[in-house]
Amino acid sequence: MKSKIDSPQKPRWSKDTRKKDNKKNTRPTKPTKPLPHKPRPTEEEDFADPQNLILEGRKAVLEALNHEKPIDRILVRCDKGKQVEGTLRMIVAKARDLRIVVQEVERIKLDETSETGHHQGVIALCPAVPYVEITDILQIAKDRNHPPFVIVLDGVTDPHNLGAVMRTAESSGAHGIIIPKRRAVGLTGTVAKTSAGAINHIAVSRVNNITRALEELKAAGLWITCAAMDGTSIFEADFSGPIALVFGAEGEGVSRLVAENSDFSVSIPMLGRIASLNVSVAAGVLAYEVVRARMAK
């Protein structure tokens, strides 16, 4: 029986020997199919307004939960030594039923986050654009008649890094990004600004478990390629075919389980004294290795 690595449908990890629209071109270009999660924006909508990302007050947050509005996380006042009380308990219970992350914080944190000064002990942080399912990302690749290309971020917490990765993903032709719900940044206003409009053009799926997400991608035929210090050099790796690039948290790298569930690991040669690259820079280097492999066909 052939092993997975011998499968002719998927790339081998060995030395590869294979070999924008022009504004002046008057020929009509094929219109890009809009993403399922958001219509293509107008020029004025390129930047999401950060002030639309915060819901304050018990009634506003409860209404959002009742109507299942997309929410990244909920901050609830719970001072030291006390328990959540009154209407806040109802909000917490409803949020947990919907599997929304609830973070208990002291009043000072809410005061710092609040834009109105009338948070009533609860603030909901909403994504700049709605999230999609992994199946939606795979469908985008199918609609474009491309082998799927997905970027997976395992615990990236810096919104500037996520925004920069979104710009890279969109410009390199990736079909979507996958991020975890917990211990990671979501689609915040800062991410929207840093992405320079890319947030409106790249699909993002937010999952409970990255390892399970990788299993779903494997089932769809993607090779899971993990960025790691001890991996195969990117110059000896084949990035063609259906692929998911996995990058870890700032300073920590990918988690052990995610690394174990990857098919291969690759590394970027470091010739200077610095031992590693920022995650958004590393994502740019590897994403364009995928571009190079696909353009060589």
Residue 32 lies in a domain: no
**Domain edge (last residue) among 125, 153, 186:** 125
Helix (H, G, I), strand (E, B) or coil at 236: helix
CATH of the domain at 146: 3.40.1280.10
Q: 239 has which bridge partners?
A: none
Would residue 224 count as lying in a domain? yes
d(CA 277, CA 36): 33
In this structure, are residues 177 and 206 in contact, taking their beta carbons and an 8 Å threshold? Answer: no
Residue with tokens 């506003």: 60
Q: Are residues 144 and 266 in the same domain?
A: yes
Residue 236 within any structural domain of the chain:
yes
Tens of pLDDT, residue by residue over 82-132, are 777 788 888 999 999 988 889 888 888 888 888 778 888 899 988 888 899
**What sign results for the dihedral spanned by CA atoms 217, 222, 226, 231?**
positive
Same domain, 265 and 143: yes
* Total domain count, the chain: 2
Answer yes or no: are the C-beta atoms of 284 and 243 closer than 8 Å: no
pLDDT value at residue 81: 63
Distance CA 119, CA 27 (A): 54
The domain that holds 107 is classified in CATH as 3.30.1330.30
Tell me what pLDDT residue 30 has: 44
How confident is the model over 129-146, as pLDDT tens digits?
Answer: 889 999 999 999 999 999
- Domain membership of residue 31 (yes or no) is no
By percentage, how much of the chain surpasses pLDDT 70?
82
For the chain, percent helix, then strand, then coil, each to nearest 5?
A: 35, 20, 45
Q: Distance between CA 5 and CA 25 in Å, rounded? A: 43
pTM above 0.85, yes or no: no
Q: Which of 97, 125, 153 delimits the end of a domain? A: 125
Which residue, 44, 28, 30, 284, is CA-closest to 170? 284
| Sheet order of strands, 73-77 included | 54-56, 122-125, 73-77, 101-105
pLDDT band at 290 (very low <50, low <70, confident <90, very high): very high
Residue 285: alpha-carbon gap to chain centroid: 17
Q: Which two tokens stand for residue 259?
A: 């690394």
259 with 204, same domain: the answer is: yes
Backbone angles phi, psi at 143, to 5 degrees: -65, -30
User: 224: domain range?
Assistant: 130-295
β-pair type (101-105, 73-77):
parallel
Strand partners, 104: 76
138 and 229: one domain?
A: yes
46-51 average pLDDT score:
38
- Asked if the structure places residue 263 within a domain, the reply is yes
Least trusted range by pLDDT, from 77-81, 113-117, 147-151, 171-175: 77-81
pLDDT tier at 18 (50, 70, 90 boundaries)? very low
As to burial, measured by CB atoms within 10 angstroms (0-12 exposed, 13-18 middle, 19+ buried), residue 109 is middle
Residue 162 has pLDDT above 50, yes or no: yes
Check the CA dihedral 49-210-250-174 and report its sign. Answer: negative
